[in-house]
């Protein structure tokens, strides 16, 4: 079965501290993996994607994610949180390039 | 470059009524997606078109939902009759290619409230 699990529904960090949003997936095929961000009252926007090239993927706004096949994980990180990072983040898997499965989302809160 | 357009932005109807949503994807994008996003959940794919053919509609409640993409460009999603549990944001997205490896570009969504 194909699925994606975001391990935290909410994450709260202080401005300037690291961000870690966790994502595990299940896929019978070589997956493509994505992180999308949804700011309040704005559309979903792609942060980064993995499609079987380099396992460490860099995205926009200083975010990056590492594909770890042995752990079936694709965690999203950022060294230093900014207030503008507060949003809902979605991990997405596309098994073998077919279908699109979204995780339930992780809401990131950034405290001043 | 214009983004994905959706209308209306908001719609309030009573249960058992019908409603239709419209989506105009980015010009030249072959693949069009409709998602349902219930409050507090991630988007759920309802239907995926490649040009004007259906690639995946496995999660579309076909007894009440229908969608079409005429001429491989814009698309409409219809609900008839609506139920309370259909209250959600309906998102349209498009991608340039036909593979799930392509970035999807999302519209602003239509927020449906069923009373």
Q: How confident is the model at residue B1 (pLDDT cuts 50, 70, 90)?
A: low
Residues B46, B38 contacting (CB under 8 angstroms): no
Radius of gyration of chain A (CA): 13
Euclidean distance between CA atoms B5 and B18, whole angstroms = 21
Residues of A with Cβ-Cβ distance to B108 under 8 angstroms: 42-43
Length, in residues, of chain A: 112
For an interface test with B, the pick among A28, A43, A50 (most B C-beta atoms closer than 10 Å) comes out as A43
Return the residue of B nearest to A105 by Cα: B42
The reported pLDDT for the residue numbered A27 is 85
Query: For residue B85, what is the DSSP state?
Result: G
Output the six-digit token pair for A104: 């339930």
The reported pLDDT for the residue numbered A97 is 67
Residues of B with Cβ-Cβ distance to A96 under 8 angstroms: 100
How does pLDDT run across A78-96, given as a tens digit for each residue?
999 999 999 999 999 988 7
The reported pLDDT for the residue numbered B2 is 82
How does pLDDT run across A37-53, given as a tens digit for each residue?
999 888 899 999 998 77
How does pLDDT run across B53-65, given as a tens digit for each residue?
998 999 999 999 9
Output the six-digit token pair for B21: 């949503």
Tell me which residue of B21, B30, B38, B2 sits closest to B104, measured CA to CA.
Answer: B30
How does pLDDT run across B66-81, given as a tens digit for each residue?
999 988 889 999 999 9
For an interface test with B, the pick among A100, A102, A103 (most B C-beta atoms closer than 10 Å) comes out as A100
Kindly tell me if the per-residue pLDDT of A25 is higher than 90. Answer: yes
Output the six-digit token pair for B72: 């491989």
Euclidean distance between CA atoms B95 and B52, whole angstroms = 14
Residue B110, strand partner residues: B90
Length, in residues, of chain B: 115
């Amino acid at each position: 079965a194909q699925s994606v699990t975001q391990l935290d529904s909410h994450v709260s960090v202080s401005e300037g501290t690291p961000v870690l949003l966790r994502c595990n997936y299940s896929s019978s095929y070589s997956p493509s993996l994505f992180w999308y961000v949804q700011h309040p009252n704005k559309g979903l926007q792609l942060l980064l994607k993995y499609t079987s090239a380099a396992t460490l993927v860099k995205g926009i706004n200083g975010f990056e994610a590492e594909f770890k096949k042995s752990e079936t994980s694709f965690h999203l990180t950022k060294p230093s949180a900014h207030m503008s990072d507060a949003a809902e983040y979605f991990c997405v898997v596309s098994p073998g390039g077919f279908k699109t499965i979204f995780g339930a989302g992780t809401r990131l809160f950034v405290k001043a | 470059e214009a983004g994905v357009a959706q209308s209306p932005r908001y719609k309030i109807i009573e249960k058992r009524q019908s409603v239709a949503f419209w989506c105009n994807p980015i010009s030249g994008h072959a693949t069009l997606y409709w998602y349902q996003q219930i409050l507090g959940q991630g988007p759920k794919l309802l239907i995926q078109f490649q040009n004007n053919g259906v690639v995946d509609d496995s999660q579309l409640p076909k007894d009440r939902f229908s969608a079409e993409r005429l001429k491989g460009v814009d698309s409409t999603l219809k609900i008839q009759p609506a139920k309370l549990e259909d209250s959600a944001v309906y998102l349209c997205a498009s991608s340039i290619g036909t593979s799930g490896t392509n970035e999807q570009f999302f519209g602003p969504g239509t927020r449906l409230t069923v009373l």
